[in-house]
């Protein structure tokens, strides 16, 4: 009897255990859930705290090629870093780089007006341009020749080969209309690809009759490419009533804003003199570089002003030329 009772109790316990274990199993046909590690508080939710951000500011060196001439127009080449004061948007800047530029390479564009209005002077322009190329070009320099009338054409790509330059200039033929602003814009964009000093010498009567580029676009391209624009304005008679003085004034303004200069020429002799003065200036320039320290103006144009220190002898008799500023946004 006792054995039967003990056996009954054992069987009852086993039955209860099996029922209890069965109650922990998932229903038939459903997978067994994996073991899950408890999530930390707010897991899977976006934190209200923003991650800290590091802003990197790229401060680019601004180069200002500067020419100083005396009251006779002769270049002054004996100045030092301490002889210059520089501001951007009226704020004084520290000069970080100062070099005399007589030996650094030049990238030069000679652009010759071949429109109908200059047809009778075209050979004079071409001959004078050849002499200028021969005088200015050194082995480290590169020169390109453009011809413009109703179209703009790069006659000679950048090269130091004088024979190739000479042949290219000789091949220029007269056209009809004048795409002056197109020439400034396209040549400036070509110069933008080059480093160092960049120069454009325009030989023209100053008129524009065919450009699709505006004056503002041409002026911005010249400024943004850091090109020194020298305009040699060919006029048959200094007081001619038929001259396009509006075009002349536009050229004069762009030349001034880029740190270059304008000249008037009436014959071969004055053309050669103008080219000689350009050559002399390019051999006696200063590079003034600085890292802008402030950005207060909302405009993307930053105005630069370079002046001589009061300690420079006869500073009031000297003229300082440089580009008037630069743009922070890219050229379109």
d(CA 279, CA 143) in angstroms, rounded, equals: 13
**3-class SS of residue 194:** coil
pLDDT at 298: 74
For 149, residues 6+ apart whose C-beta sits below 8 A from its C-beta are 113, 114, 115, 116, 174, 175, 176, 177, 178, 179, 210
d(CA 201, CA 187) in angstroms, rounded, equals: 10
Contact 190, 109 (CB under 8 A): yes
pLDDT band at 239 (very low <50, low <70, confident <90, very high): low
- Highest-scoring range by mean pLDDT, 16-25, 32-41, 58-67, 227-236: 227-236
pLDDT at 244: 66
Instruction: Answer whether residue 18 shows pLDDT above 70.
Output: no
- Which residue from 62, 68, 63 is spatially nearest to 321, judged by alpha carbons? 68
Lowest-pLDDT choice from 11-20, 278-287, 289-298: 11-20
pLDDT at 207: 87
pLDDT at 240: 55
CA dihedral 130, 128, 240, 180 (to 10 degrees): 20
pLDDT at 260: 97
Q: How many residues does the chain have?
A: 332
- Highest-scoring range by mean pLDDT, 19-23, 117-121, 141-145: 141-145
Q: Of all residues in the chain, what percent carry a pLDDT higher than 70?
A: 79
DSSP string, 216-266: HHHHHHHHHTTEEEEEEEE-SSTT-TTS-HHHHHHHHHHHHHHT-EEEEES
Instruction: Answer whether residue 2 shows pLDDT above 60.
Output: no
Q: Does the predicted TM-score (pTM) go above 0.85?
A: no
pLDDT band at 315 (very low <50, low <70, confident <90, very high): very high
Lowest-pLDDT choice from 176-190, 191-205, 223-237, 302-316: 223-237
Contact 92, 291 (CB under 8 A): no
pLDDT at 296: 63
Mean pLDDT of 102-116: 92
pLDDT band at 149 (very low <50, low <70, confident <90, very high): very high
d(CA 62, CA 7) in angstroms, rounded, equals: 101
Task: Please name the residue that has the structure tokens 């396009």.
Answer: 244
- Which residue from 101, 104, 210, 206 is spatially nearest to 151, judged by alpha carbons? 210
pLDDT tens string 241-286: 556 677 899 999 999 999 999 999 989 899 999 999 999 999 999 9
Mean pLDDT of 1-28: 44
């Amino acid at each position: 009897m006792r054995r039967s009772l003990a056996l009954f109790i054992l069987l009852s316990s086993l039955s209860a255990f099996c029922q209890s274990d069965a109650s922990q199993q998932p229903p038939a046909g459903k997978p067994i859930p994996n073991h899950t590690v408890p999530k930390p508080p707010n897991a899977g939710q976006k934190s209200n705290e923003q991650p800290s951000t590091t802003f990197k500011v790229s401060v680019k060196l601004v180069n200002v090629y500067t020419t100083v001439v005396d009251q006779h127009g002769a270049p002054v080449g004996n100045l030092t870093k301490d002889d210059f004061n520089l501001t951007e948007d009226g704020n004084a800047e520290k000069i970080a780089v100062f070099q005399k530029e007589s030996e650094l390479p030049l990238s030069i564009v000679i652009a010759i007006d071949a429109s109908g209005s200059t047809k009778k002077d075209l050979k004079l322009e071409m001959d004078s341009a050849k002499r200028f190329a021969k005088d200015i070009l050194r082995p480290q320099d590169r020169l390109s020749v453009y011809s413009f009338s109703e179209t703009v054409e790069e006659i000679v790509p950048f090269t130091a080969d004088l024979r190739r330059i000479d042949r290219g200039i000789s091949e220029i033929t007269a056209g009809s209309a004048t795409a002056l602003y197109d020439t400034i814009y396209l040549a400036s964009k070509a110069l933008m690809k080059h480093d160092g000093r960049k120069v454009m010498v325009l030989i023209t009567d100053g008129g524009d009759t065919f450009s699709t580029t505006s004056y503002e676009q041409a002026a911005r391209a010249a400024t943004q490419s850091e090109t020194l624009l020298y305009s040699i304005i060919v006029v048959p008679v200094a007081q001619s009533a038929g001259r396009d003085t509006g075009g002349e004034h536009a050229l004069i303004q762009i030349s001034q804003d880029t740190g270059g200069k304008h000249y008037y020429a009436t014959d071969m002799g004055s053309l050669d003199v103008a080219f000689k003065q350009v050559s002399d200036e390019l051999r006696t320039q200063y590079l003034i570089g600085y890292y802008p320290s402030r950005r207060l103006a909302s405009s993307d144009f930053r105005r630069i002003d370079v002046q001589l220190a009061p300690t420079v002898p006869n500073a009031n008799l000297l003229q300082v030329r440089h580009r008037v500023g630069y743009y922070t946004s890219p050229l379109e």
